[in-house]
């Protein structure tokens, strides 16, 4: 109930009368009206936001429709058909290489995660065994001490029972005091044994730690191998110039592409289709990937201790297989959408 309503009720009571039922109904209607106005304002704001989003979507749809209309008009010219087919065949080659690189990176990250998790569990079990060994040594010493005290206590009680006659009175008192003192030591030894057994049981019951994710070194190792794989893909496609042509298909529109005569376009389409099939069926050359990764690891520098992606200017490509011309920096030129496959 609001403050003015409380004041009104207080005024009524001071005046010696209670608010009527009609007043209560009017107050309830007023409260409902205020709440409805709030809900209406919120709905109106939602409506304006949805209208703005609708306008943005309509604009995007209009642009796509204009592009489709321009493309249809462009493809309607026979002289442009071969070029367009070659252009989209190169884009398909680019997508196939991107997919292969992304799959390789994901599989490598999974394997690295499994290795680090196994190492984490092995370290945890080793540390747990070391801690248990420390307490077990103390436990063994405590048990030996307890058994020794029990044996001494048993022997002392037997000797006390043999001390008869008044002339052994003082010897009996000393023996009883020693037994009494040894009882305290036995209690302490038993408590120590129980505590150590509890420590051992608690350590053995400890659950393994949760895996917090790949380490910086692990992510760096994965990223270096992914860059090496990207270089290998480039070298597979570089001899026919397909690597650069596929990259250019992502940087320019189909209207700006030029691949020569129809015969040259057909030849390019055939080579692109063959390259797609080779990439999709390619076996991983782990020896080559490791050699490239080792070279990159020696070259790579990082901007900070937490950075997992090498500085692009620290990556120097090897000589291309087709000749002595050095291969491009696949990280700097972002071949095969490399940054999507890298781990941050």
Tell me: the pLDDT tens digits for 179-206? 788 888 888 888 988 998 898 899 999 9
**Residue whose C-alpha is closest to residue 221's, from 140, 296, 170:** 296
CATH value of 122-204 in 1.10.287, 1.10.620, 2.40.50, 1.10.150: 1.10.287
Tokens standing for 114? 């499994």
pLDDT tens digits along 24-69: 676 677 777 778 888 888 888 888 888 888 888 888 888 877 777 7
Cα–Cα dist 147/59, whole Å = 89
Q: How many CB atoms lie within 10 A of CB 269?
A: 19
Helices (H) and strands (E) in the chain, counts: 9, 0
- What the block records as the tokens of 44 is 């109106």
Cβ(222)–Cβ(214) under 8 Å?
A: yes
Q: How does pLDDT run across 279-291, given as a tens digit for each residue?
A: 988 888 889 999 9
Angle in degrees, 0-180, between the axes of helices 78-162 and 216-237, rounded to the nearest 10: 150
């Amino acid at each position: 109930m609001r403050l003015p309503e409380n004041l009104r009720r207080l005024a009524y009571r001071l005046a010696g009368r209670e608010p009527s039922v009609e007043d209560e109904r009017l107050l309830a209607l007023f409260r409902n009206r205020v709440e409805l106005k709030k809900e209406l304002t919120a709905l109106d704001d939602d409506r304006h936001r949805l209208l703005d989003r609708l306008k943005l979507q309509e604009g995007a749809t209009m642009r796509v429709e204009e592009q489709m209309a321009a493309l249809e008009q462009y493809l309607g010219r026979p002289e442009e058909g071969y070029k367009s087919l070659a252009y989209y065949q190169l884009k398909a080659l680019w997508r196939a290489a991107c997919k292969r690189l992304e799959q390789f990176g994901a599989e490598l990250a999974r394997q690295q995660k499994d290795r680090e998790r196994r190492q984490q569990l092995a370290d945890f079990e080793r540390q747990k065994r070391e801690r248990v060994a420390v307490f077990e040594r103390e436990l063994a010493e405590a048990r030996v001490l307890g058994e020794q005290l029990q044996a001494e206590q048993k022997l002392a009680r037997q000797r006390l029972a043999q001390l008869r006659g008044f002339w052994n009175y003082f010897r009996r008192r000393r023996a009883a005091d020693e037994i009494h003192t040894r009882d305290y030591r036995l209690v302490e030894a038993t408590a120590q044994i129980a505590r150590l057994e509890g420590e051992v049981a608690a350590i053995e019951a400890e659950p393994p730690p949760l895996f917090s994710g790949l380490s910086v070194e692990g992510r760096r190792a994965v990223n270096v191998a992914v860059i090496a794989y990207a270089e290998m893909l480039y070298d597979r496609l570089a001899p026919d110039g397909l690597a650069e042509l596929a990259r250019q298909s992502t940087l320019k529109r189909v209207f700006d592409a030029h691949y020569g005569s129809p015969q040259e376009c057909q030849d390019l389409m055939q080579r692109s289709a063959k390259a797609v099939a080779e990439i999709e069926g390619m076996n991983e050359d782990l020896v080559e990937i490791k050699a490239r990764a080792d070279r990159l690891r020696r070259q790579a520098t990082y901007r900070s201790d937490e950075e997992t992606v090498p500085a692009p200017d620290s990556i120097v490509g090897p000589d291309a297989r087709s000749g002595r011309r050095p291969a491009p920096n696949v990280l700097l030129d972002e071949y095969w959408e490399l940054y999507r496959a890298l781990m941050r």
